[in-house]
Amino acid sequence: MVYEHKTKAGNLGDVFKHLALVQMLEGLLTHHQGKHFCYADTYAGRPDYAVTSSKGWRKGAGKLLSIDVPPMPAARFWHQHVANVPESAEMARYPGSTLLADQLIALHGFKSQMMLWETTGANMSALRERFPHAKYTAQAEAKASDLLLEQADFIFVDPPGVHSRRHPDYPNWQTLAQMLVLPSAMLMWLPLPDSLTSSRTITHREIRQLAVSLNFTVSEVVWNTSGMLGCQLLYRADPAVMAATRNIIDWMAGVISCEARHFDVSGA
């Protein structure tokens, strides 16, 4: 199965997901010790995607080609690698989370140790070609009990890798809870439900309450367009990294005139 939010490369969900990802990695890498940085991605997808075949690009990152970018390293890295992809160029490619992470780790002078989960053969082949030295788990969901995750300096959780049977783009309660209690720095991205997905047995409010109780900050962004109404970002690292991630989400929400709300243990 090909999941909708992965095929529409560069949509608004991807914009907030990749901005938060880059900001968290930027903060962690700035103070990282050692020669290697271990990055885990529970649903790696493809290294990049064709822009010309993506409707999501025109409604998302493609609308952000000429915005003013503040003097924030993460925002500038994101804009250089994502929003400046030329739609008119032949074979233009939009980078996925794995490619962004690998390039940012290298920019900071570390050797990336990538642990990638993927459920489709075609994507796995593309990943192996681009990242031949990564550790892979093919055709299987990521499980919190996997010892590989305990080795990660950072874990990025994308829902198809931890989906429930009823909703392929949304996790079940047990899997979600097990992931959130892992000790590593983490970012989890989830779509906010619309009226068509109201039958989900776990709500975004319940997810928010659980995540906040485990010292995550939860940012919910709503853009009120057709299809996916918004996204939920759950992230945990040291306070400075979390504050910077919240700020970059607010910046982009202001750029595209949508609503961003944040929740943490302070009751904000």
User: Over the stretch 79-130, which tens digit does the pLDDT of each residue have?
Assistant: 988 877 776 666 678 889 999 999 999 999 999 999 998 878 888 899 999 9
The answer to whether 77 and 104 have CB atoms below 8 angstroms apart is yes
pLDDT at 3: 29
pLDDT at 166: 56
Q: Domain spanning 4-263 has what CATH number?
A: 3.40.50.150
pLDDT at 98: 95
pLDDT at 122: 87
* Range 27-32, long-range pairs (CB < 8 A, 24+ positions): 27/74, 27/237, 27/238, 27/240, 27/241, 27/244, 27/245, 28/153, 28/154, 28/185, 28/237, 28/241, 29/104, 29/105, 29/108, 29/110, 30/108, 32/108, 32/110, 32/153
pLDDT at 6: 39
What kind and span of H or E run contains 30? helix 12-30
What is the mean pLDDT, run by run of 10 residues, along the chain of 268 residues?
A: 41 90 97 93 87 66 80 93 72 87 96 89 91 82 82 86 56 82 93 62 85 95 72 95 96 91 84
- E strands, the chain, are 36-41, 48-50, 93-95, 111-118, 135-138, 154-157, 185-192, 217-222, 230-236, 259-263
pLDDT at 132: 92
| pTM (predicted TM-score) | 0.89
Those residues whose C-beta lies under 8 Å from the C-beta of residue 149, and which sit 6 or more positions away, are 40, 115, 142, 155, 182, 184
Task: Count CB-CB contacts under 10 A for residue 171.
Answer: 25
Residue 266, helix vs strand vs coil: coil
- Sequence length of the chain is 268
Burial of 23 (0-12, 13-18, 19+ CB in 10 A): buried
